[in-house]
């Protein structure tokens, strides 16, 4: 017996504060009605990629599928905006299941700060001196000393974002991999990063942290003056992103590799 398609009749519309997104929200509510997010079958996010990340974080524990429509400047994670045939688009959409990264950042006072990241976890030097980092995978030190502006750990979903700008690899969306990419490495100069299984535990230790302070960022949550950062996949947390079938996330990641 064929599996019955899920119906998306109760829609919650959320929008960024840019005028185009607010106007789109008003028009869509007038046409399709309004449902509170807690009671909705689907949440439609109107904005750009930054707002999509905010929306995913806002509803990260609710297991409600999120369908984005682009009303911002960057729309890699968004579908094209159209007012008509929304119910049909939702019914035909593909759903990508995403696991975020979990970060535990320990600051210079010994306090642990926990955050989740959908795109990437990044470490940055806070002052003029380069950061000096040590990288361990599953408690085994793999790189004794990396002198750089920073480093990031990216999910497949985030591999086309900051990771790509830092010359990291694009990961297939369904791959069980993470990208570890240095930001402006000075020593070892030729190290361009690594691709690791998504089941590993990554520990990045900050050496000479008083002289070379470092901050850690999980998407847009920042912790200052960290001495170590631990990263692993949050396998118990699942996010559901919906895309038009002809422009699914897997196709977008593939197409990005052939752009110039």
Q: Is the pLDDT of residue 257 over 60?
A: yes
Q: How large a percentage of the chain has pLDDT more than 70?
A: 97
Confidence at residue 145, expressed as pLDDT on a 0 to 100 scale: 97
105 with 229, same domain: the answer is yes
| Alpha carbons 211 and 132: distance in angstroms, whole number | 10
Cβ neighbours around 235 below 10 Å, total: 11
Where residue 176 sits, what CATH number does that domain have? 2.60.200.30
Q: Kindly state whether residues 78 and 16 are assigned to the same domain.
A: yes
Model pTM score = 0.85
What number is the average pLDDT over the span 188-204? 95
E strand intervals along 93-224: 94-98, 101-107, 112-117, 120-125, 131-137, 140-148, 150-154, 177-183, 194-197, 202-207, 214-218, 221-223
Mean pLDDT, residues 4-14: 82
Alpha carbon distance 90, 41 (integer Å): 10
Same domain, 225 and 111: yes
The answer as to whether 218 is a domain residue is yes
16 within some domain: yes
Segments forming the whole domain that contains residue 110: 101-233
| Catalytic residue positions, numbered | 49
Residues 41 and 124 in one domain: no
Predicted confidence at residue 3, as pLDDT, reads: 45
Number of domains forming the structure of the chain: 2
| Same domain membership, residue 113 and residue 181 | yes
């Amino acid at each position: 017996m064929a599996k019955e398609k899920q119906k998306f009749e109760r829609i919650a519309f959320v929008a960024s504060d840019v005028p185009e997104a607010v106007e789109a929200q008003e028009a869509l509510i007038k046409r399709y009605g309004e449902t509170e997010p807690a009671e909705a079958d689907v949440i439609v996010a109107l904005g750009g990629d930054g707002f999509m990340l905010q929306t995913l974080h806002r509803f990260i524990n609710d297991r409600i599928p999120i369908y984005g429509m682009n009303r911002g400047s960057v729309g890699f994670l968004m579908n094209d905006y159209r007012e008509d045939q929304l119910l049909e688009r939702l019914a035909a959409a593909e759903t990508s299941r995403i696991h975020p990264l979990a970060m535990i950042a320990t600051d210079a006072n010994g306090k642990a700060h926990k955050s989740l990241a959908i795109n990437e976890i990044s470490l940055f030097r806070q002052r003029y001196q380069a950061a000096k980092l040590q990288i361990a995978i599953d408690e085994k030190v793999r790189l004794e000393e990396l002198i750089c502006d920073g480093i990031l750990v990216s999910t497949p979903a985030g591999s086309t974002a900051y990771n790509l700008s830092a010359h990291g690899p694009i990961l297939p969306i369904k791959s069980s991999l993470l990208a570890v990419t240095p930001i402006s490495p000075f020593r070892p100069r030729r190290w361009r990063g690594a691709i690791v299984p998504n089941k590993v535990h990554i520990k990045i230790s900050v050496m000479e942290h008083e002289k070379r302070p470092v901050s850690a960022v999980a998407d847009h949550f920042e912790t200052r003056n960290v001495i170590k950062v631990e990263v692993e996949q949050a396998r118990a947390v699942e996010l559901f992103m919906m895309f038009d079938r002809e422009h699914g996330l897997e196709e977008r990641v593939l197409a990005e590799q052939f752009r110039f």
